[in-house]
């Protein structure tokens, strides 16, 4: 009975190790040695996009956000206190980032509100603003967290918003996962293998005595 349990546990460990190895290897190749994770949303709308602290300020690393408008359009991006951003947007219809999806490296969003967006650039509550015809990039350090990032476009839709975080430890962790997975595979096989050997060896011991 004990031998069977050990075999099952060994097999489970080996499977777990295999899964861990595959996942670790996948993350390592996706993140690269720099540990860069890039998530993309495709709002394809003229409504403002807001990235709140629940997405923007969950890590200690800098977050780089790039907004790309449709050809010929202007992108505008600004940082503010979360409550200020909420006040200025009011009940306006906005695309709110809700999280990230690792499988497709997607910035998850949903549309909230129903009112018309106000003229955001006139407000004097932005800590940092960037605007340009074409892609605009803004780096959010975590020094002034919590903050909310608001993105708007003029003269066309907002095509993509990319959210990039770089953390070298993620690559290291992915490699560690690969190594741990390999260890689990070995440990699992080691646990299962002696049980078979002990079955073979048991009669031999009795004969010797």
Partner 1 sequence: MTRRTTSAVAAATLASALLLTGCGTQDALVGLRPAPAEKSVSAPLGDEGAADIAARVLAQAEAPIEGDAKKAAAARAVFLAGDALTVANAMAARGAAPAATPDLAVAPKPTIVGQSQGRAWPRAIVASTLDEATNTQMLHVLVSEKPDQPFKIVSSVPMFAGATLPAVAPENAGSPMVEVTDGEGLPATPEAVIKAYAAALAFPKPVATKAVSVDNAFANSLKTTAAAQAKALGKLGTLTQVHTPELKNAVSFRLADGGVVTFGLMKRTDTLAVTKAAKELVLPAEYAKLTGKKKVTKSLTLNNLETFVMLIPPTGQASVIGGAELLVSGKAL
Q: Restricting to residues 125-184, name those near partner 1 by CB under 8 A.
A: 125-127, 144-146, 167, 169-170, 173, 180, 183-184
Own/partner long-range contacts of 174-179 (Cβ < 8 Å, ≥24 apart): 174/24, 174/25, 174/27, 174/28, 174/31, 175/24, 175/28, 176/24, 177/20, 177/21, 177/23, 177/24, 177/27, 178/20, 178/21, 178/24, 178/25, 178/28, 179/24
- Least distance to partner 1 from the beta carbon of 68, Å? 26
Distance of closest approach, residue 205 Cβ to partner 1, in angstroms: 14
Contact in structure between 166 and 34 (CB atoms under 8 Å): yes
Nearer to partner 1, 112 or 145 (CB): 145
User: Quick one: which of 190, 196, 199, 201 contacts partner 1 (CB under 8 A)?
Assistant: 190
Q: Cβ 10 to partner 1, closest distance in Å?
A: 7
Candidates 49, 50, 51, 88: give the one binding partner 1 (CB under 8 A): 88
Q: Which two tokens stand for residue 10?
A: 């060994």
- Cα–Cα nearest to 161, from 34, 36, 48: 48
Q: Could you tell me the smallest distance in angstroms from the CB atom of residue 79 to partner 1?
A: 10
The whole-angstrom separation of Cα 67 and Cα 69 is 6
Lay out the site mask for partner 1 across 34-73 (x = CB under 8 A, - = otherwise): ------------------xxx-xxxxxx------------
Q: Name the residues that contact partner 1, by CB under 8 A.
A: 6, 9-10, 12-13, 16, 20, 52-54, 56-61, 81-84, 87-88, 90, 118-120, 122-127, 144-146, 167, 169-170, 173, 180, 183-184, 187-188, 190-191, 194, 198
């Amino acid at each position: 009975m004990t031998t069977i349990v050990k075999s099952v546990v060994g097999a489970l460990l080996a499977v777990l190790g295999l899964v861990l190895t595959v996942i670790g290897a996948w993350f390592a190749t996706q993140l690269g040695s720099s540990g860069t994770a890039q998530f993309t949303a495709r709002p394809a709308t003229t409504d403002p996009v807001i990235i709140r602290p629940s997405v923007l300020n969950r890590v200690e690393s800098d977050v780089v956000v790039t907004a790309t408008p449709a050809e010929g359009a202007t992108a505008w991006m600004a940082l503010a206190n979360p409550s200020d951003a909420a006040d200025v947007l009011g009940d306006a219809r906005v695309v709110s980032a809700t999280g990230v999806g690792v499988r497709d490296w997607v910035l998850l969003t949903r549309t909230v509100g129903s009112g018309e967006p106000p003229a955001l650039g006139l407000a004097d509550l932005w800590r940092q603003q960037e605007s340009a015809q074409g892609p605009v990039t803004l780096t959010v350090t975590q020094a002034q967290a919590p903050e909310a990032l608001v993105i708007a476009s003029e003269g066309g839709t907002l095509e993509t918003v990319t959210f990039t975080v770089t953390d070298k430890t993620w690559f290291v962790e992915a490699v560690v996962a690969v190594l741990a997975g390999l260890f689990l595979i070995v440990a699992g096989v080691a646990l299962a293998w002696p049980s078979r050997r002990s079955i073979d060896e048991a009669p031999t011991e009795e004969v010797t005595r």
